[in-house]
Structure 1
């Protein structure tokens, strides 16, 4: 799975960017979408317009960590892996027996957005299993992605030379679009376009970047670790009927 977001809807952390003599692009001339299609049979891409695009294929997938995609009410979601408490979540969100993990993520997001009384970190923490997901709401131009607390499935993110954010389960695709400016997505964390990168395991603590160094000694993006000494304000999910500026909540 693949998502490329314009910096207007998903601001890339500066510490993820690495200076490089070579320019690499993810959105320009559809470069990364074409590359994704060349690697996977029956690959599909969904054009989000100026915010970017998402790509999906079930080609070469691990049967233990399947990929799923759904589009509901202008919400696009890609899901990788499985949830161990799927039955419990179906009851919680009053969903049918036929619904799967990707439907759960969309419904959980809609509940948070429209009427949810719980903080977003608690909702993601309630997801038990081995997973990563990417969600984009076209109506509000909101992006959310997360991975499980153990980082059990492959999930990477990076920045291209234009500052666009690239997220994928395929490290080679991320390298193609970002060069050296990439890293594994930090386990136990989630990202929102309004609030940036947060830890749902330690929601009260800030995250600090630690530069990544590859085998040749070159800096490649950064890993983000929980800073036990730095605190953050609580994070909430703004309602869709609010007239206030969402950015004021973070």
Structure 2
């Protein structure tokens, strides 16, 4: 899986940018999508115009961490891994027996976007299993990413020379697009376009960047850790139904 988003759609944390970051523009002339297609047979790319793109391949999947792709009502989602409490979540969201993990994630997002009763951290925390997912709502230009609490699925993010957000399960692809400005996506966290990076395990705590140093001693992006001493000022805001969730977190 590969996703690239323009910085006004998904602004990566400044701490991801390394002083020795690369000079490549991941979106220019299909540079990174060509690298991804060369490494992953049968790759399909969905272009979102100036907002970015999403590529995925279902060829030779890992049976332990399958990849699912779906699109409904301008919501595009790639899900990798599996959810253990599928039956419970299907019932909770009123989904049919044939619904899959990717359907559950998309419905969870729509519930949040359309003013569901739960805060975002609780909705993601209800997903039990080994997973990562990348969702893009074209209608609201909203990015929604998350990884499980153990970091069980390879999932990396970074920023290219022009500040585009780059996400992939292939670390070599991220390196090609971001140079040293990348890191593993933080486990137990989720990211949204307007709310940035948050921990769903510890929603009342701030996250702090910890510089990553590679084997040659150079700074290579940053890991994000829960700061046990820094608490958020208040709980996640809840607003009236006329407000759009994607603009509130």
TM-score (norm 2): 0.95
**More contact order relative to length (CA 8 Å, sep ≥ 6):** 2
Structure 2: how far apart are the matches of 1:39 and 1:244?
Answer: 37
Residues 40-80 of structure 1 show CA distances to partners (whole Å, capped at 9, x for unaligned) of: 11110000111100001022431100001000000000000
Q: Which residue does 2:224 correspond to in 1?
A: 224
Offset at residue 234 of structure 1 (A) = 2.4
Q: 1:114 to 1:239 in 2, by over 3 A?
A: farther
Q: Which residue does 2:161 correspond to in 1?
A: 161
Q: Which residue does 1:68 correspond to in 2?
A: 68
Q: Which residue does 2:59 correspond to in 1?
A: 59
Aligned length in residues: 248
Q: Which residue does 1:178 correspond to in 2?
A: 178
Q: 1:10 to 1:239 in 2, by over 3 A?
A: farther
Q: Which residue does 2:205 correspond to in 1?
A: 205
Q: Give 1:90-239 correspondences, 5 Å limit.
A: 90-232=90-232, 233-236=234-237
Q: 1:79 to 1:238 in 2, by over 3 A?
A: farther
Structure 2: how far apart are the matches of 1:186 and 1:88?
Answer: 26
**What is the DSSP-based 3-state SS (H/G/I as helix, E as strand, rest coil) of the residue aligned with 2:49?**
coil
Offset at residue 130 of structure 1 (A) = 0.1
Residues 68-108 of structure 1 show CA distances to partners (whole Å, capped at 9, x for unaligned) of: 10000000000000000001111111111111000000011
Moved more, 71-80 or 226-235: 226-235
Structure 1: how far apart are the matches of 2:10 and 2:240?
Answer: 19
Moved more, 235-244 or 64-73: 235-244
Offset at residue 240 of structure 1 (A) = 7.7
Residues 164-218 of structure 1 show CA distances to partners (whole Å, capped at 9, x for unaligned) of: 0001111011101101000000000000001000000000000000000111111
**What is the DSSP-based 3-state SS (H/G/I as helix, E as strand, rest coil) of the residue aligned with 2:50?**
coil
Q: 1:240 to 1:132 in 2, by over 3 A?
A: farther
Q: 1:83 to 1:77 in 2, by over 3 A?
A: same
Offset at residue 115 of structure 1 (A) = 2.9
Q: Which residue does 1:43 correspond to in 2?
A: 43
Offset at residue 28 of structure 1 (A) = 1.1
RMSD: 1.8
Q: Which residue does 1:20 correspond to in 2?
A: 20
Runs of 4+ in 1 over 6 A off after TM superposition: 237-240
